[in-house]
Structure 1
Amino acid sequence: MRDGKGVWFEINRSLDAPIGLKQLQQILIECAKDDFDKVIESLDRIMLIQNPQPVERTDLILLVGDGPVARGAGDVLIPWEEMPAEYTAGRDLQVVEVIINDGEQLIDALYVGLWPAGEKDNDE
């Protein structure tokens, strides 16, 4: 993370996503009932007709970058055999690491595209 607090800090403190349509509907009613009145009504119809089952939340961490020089082929940044001690959120955790050999130029180009020269990052 660009703020220096790390990925686990952000994941552990993030709010649980609505688990079901009923919770989403309640959020819309509480936050913007007039703006989403048709959506709220549609959710009523969906829940009455289909009785959907809730879907549990999964946290997904996607790491993309150049591999450190000291790492060998197949070495991972986040061990997969057991849950990292720093992860305390308690939800299902999926971690994907994509290592791009000599990918520094590609990554730099992506950052330039996201934050063009002259724009100041809010975290800095």
Structure 2
Amino acid sequence: MSASDDLRTLETTAGAAERNTLALRLAEEKTPGLGAVLVRLIQRPDLADKRGALVHALGYLDCSDHVGLLVELVLTADFEVAHEALQALETVEEADGEDIEQAFDRFQAVHAQPDLPAWRKELLEDLAEMFD
């Protein structure tokens, strides 16, 4: 199978286990075009509770163009996805200034909420260190 066939299969398969296995294999191989496919999958509403492995796979790639998405996931996603997104953010060495400003504004809005669970507060503290 070619890389384009693998990407098409990744995007169209209904099975979570098959999708996750393929996403991780392609990420380890640094398959060109994978980042865009992973972002589309991560943003699909029907996969909202099945995206932990997809975010993990994205972390194998250059995430500098996905700072906004990853910050949003840290701020709003479930425990597993939020942690995977933070780990992916830790690999970003350089990002667009405007993306960082928007992410920081969003961070401040969520950080100000009084009813955050303890685990999210801890993640936000780690995320705040990245903005320093």
Q: TM-score, normalised to structure 1's length?
A: 0.23
Larger radius of gyration: 1
Bigger strand fraction? 1
Q: TM-score, normalised by structure 2?
A: 0.22
